[in-house]
Amino acid sequence: MLVFRSDGRFGCIDSGNLNIRAPGEIATALVLNPCRRYIPRILRTRVLAVAFIVAVFGGGFASAQQEDLHAGDSNSLDFKQFGLLAIQEGGRRKPLDTFARETLIKLSGRSTYAAAGKRWQANDFILSMLLDTHKWQEEPMILVSLGQLIEQLGLDKTQRRFSFAQLSSLPELNRLVSEAHDLKRAEKPLSRMQNEAMAVGERLTLFSRVMDGSAFLLVPARQKETDAWVVPPAYTEYYNETQFGPLQTQLQTMANAYVHGDGFDFATAARQLRQGLRDLSPAIYPKESKLGLEYFYNHFDGFYRAAWCYGLALVLLAVAYQRRKGGWLKHVGLAFSVAALLFHATGITLRCMIAGRPPVTNMYESIIWVSFAVTFFGMIFFLRYRTLVYLLAALPVSLIALLLVHQMPIAMPSSIDPLVPVLRDNFWLTIHVLTITLSYAAFALAMGFGHILLWRYARNPAVARADQPMHFWLYRVLQLGVLLLAAGTILGGVWANYSWGRFWGWDPKETWALIALLCYILTLHGRLAGWWTQFGLVVASVVCFLAVLMAWYGVNFVLGKGLHSYGFGIGGETYVASFVVADLAFVAFAVWRHRASQREAASARRVVSNETLVA
């Protein structure tokens, strides 16, 4: 079996050695393997990690293997104290609960995993991997999302997840990962398949690091926050045996309690272990309040609760709007709308408190921010004009956006990552990004509004044309979006001058932001100048949003070029392409109905005119 190195390549480890279940034998195999000169430093750290597992968790391992532990034995355990342990990973210090959740999602694309007759939660899963209570190497859980790569590797096309043992033994995957890393180092563009191969390689590396314990950087540095934390077997880098000795006892107690399903001892040992680690370095180890805040955020699921409230509010308000006099339905629907905004705002606020910055860094954060702003704007316009149409336009946009990020955890990961250097300590960046995304929210609201009007034009064009207030309200939303986008684009130039030394450079992000702004300016100016009718304004409110979609999603996930590389990603093309095609088809149908209605009206007028002349 091959093992991925830290740089994405495979190490030279004999396949038979790593299939041994006993961790001591794995450590021996790694040390004595004749290819060890090719194993990077991180794998040598893993040898220490495995040796530590043998020494500290040995009792747990023996019990697990001799008693043939069943996975269900851990179902009754409370993992809160374990999840509150701090770990250094991804450039920041976070609860082990966060690391567990991110690991399971990165590996499988799911927040839970079904195996061995139970539904594994994230904390249970990573501890089971570490203590080897289940044959995770043989579980088909590693996600391969691209069908082209599955076909290239000769795997079953009907599956999207495969086992670690199966994937790590494929020479073709090794070749593709090595090729992709060579291209990336040379700063050359990668194909979609090469990007996916790199992602699969990273998943296998992560899987290996969790299995051998080298991912568990639980021991804090002694003096500096910037110093790297270490795995427990390397504690001598910062502490002596007298200082760390009691923590070894807590580690072994926690492992044994997990293996035997002893909930009280498990929680007690985890809590004492956390306190002991904090006592080693009080200035470096995160405060209990900070760890508790992030743990609460993880389990609060504010965005999921908001999505439910958005859905219920949409149904109730739609029924109330159709009935015209649905008094109690309207009030209940408004209450759910307010509850959704509160849940949504709470989730964003907690995330900002944890990260110490506004939600401005990646696609996930921008979507949750924009989806909140859409309904917030809708509520403001509702309070101003007292019409439910604004909320009926906003609620489905917010609901779909939250469902989208919930269904695409790989393409849009929810992890809270440190800012890249160009984004740090930059006031203008924060103002620029928040303003730009608020303009996206206004245009998304206008797009939802436009869909309602297009639906009315498709059903009864004459009635839709006669509804002057609806067109006026749409015009107001478009004005707000243009104002925000223009301000955001100018502020982006200020930030670019601050960061890169030039106000404008025709970067793809800058170019498409300008294209989107010009599209909407042309829409408003054309309506004022009489170049098109109110129906043209409605069509433009929907079609012009495609320019926003390109500036927002297309540049980052399709083009993948430019100085805004910190926001790049892959995935979601099928969802977006399906939306664009369906939306354009709907617009075309509405245009056809509108023109057919105009022809019918003109024909009726001619008939009336002829009858008048005859009379």
User: Longest C-alpha distance within the chain, in Å?
Assistant: 113
pLDDT confidence band for 328 (50 / 70 / 90):
confident
Domain that holds residue 400: 301-601
pTM: 0.83
**Chain segment 38-94, per-residue pLDDT in tens:** 334 444 444 454 555 555 554 444 444 444 444 446 788 999 999 999 999 988 999
Q: Range with the lowest mean pLDDT among 404-418, 442-456, 492-506?
A: 492-506
Number of domains in the chain: 2
Question: Taken in order 474, 476, 480, 486, is the CA torsion positive or negative?
Answer: positive
The two tokens of residue 183 are: 């291209």
CA 302, chain centre distance (Å): 14
Same domain, 203 and 283: yes
pLDDT at 36 over 70: no
Determine the pLDDT at residue 24.
35
Same-domain status, 173 and 262: yes
Domain shared by 347 and 461, yes or no: yes
| Residue 612 pLDDT greater than 70, yes or no | no
Q: Which DSSP state fits 37? A: G
Is residue 199 included in any domain, yes or no? yes
Domain-terminating residue out of 260, 290, 320: 290
Choose among 274, 293, 292, 295: nearest CA to 219: 274
Secondary structure (3-state) at 493: helix
Check residue 433 and give its pLDDT.
84
Alpha carbon of residue 244 to chain centroid: 37
Backbone CA torsion sign across 452, 455, 457, 459:
negative
Asked if residue 33 is part of any domain, the answer here is no
Q: Alpha-carbon distance 582 to 576, whole Å?
A: 10
Residues 439, 520 within the same domain: yes
pLDDT of 395 over the 60 cut: yes
Q: Which residues does 7 contact at the CB level (< 8 Å), separation at least 6?
A: 40, 181
424 within a domain of the structure (yes/no): yes
pLDDT value of position 563:
57
* Mean pLDDT calculated for residue range 269-290: 95
Looking at the DSSP bridge assignments, the partners of residue 165 are: none
Between CA 497 and CA 488 the distance in angstroms is 14
Torsion from C-alpha of 83, 198, 205, 132, nearest 10 degrees: 70
Query: Are 318 and 269 in the same domain?
Result: no
Inform me whether the pLDDT recorded for 393 exceeds 90: yes
Q: Does 188 share its domain with 233?
A: yes
Same domain flag for 270 and 343 = no
How much is the average pLDDT of 93-119?
A: 93
Are 398 and 264 members of one domain? no
The reply to whether 337 and 277 lie within a common domain is: no
Asked if 465 and 344 sit in the same domain, the reply is yes
Residue 329 lies in a domain: yes
Phi-psi group of 324: left, alpha or beta (phi > 0 → left; psi -120 to 50 → alpha; rest → beta): left
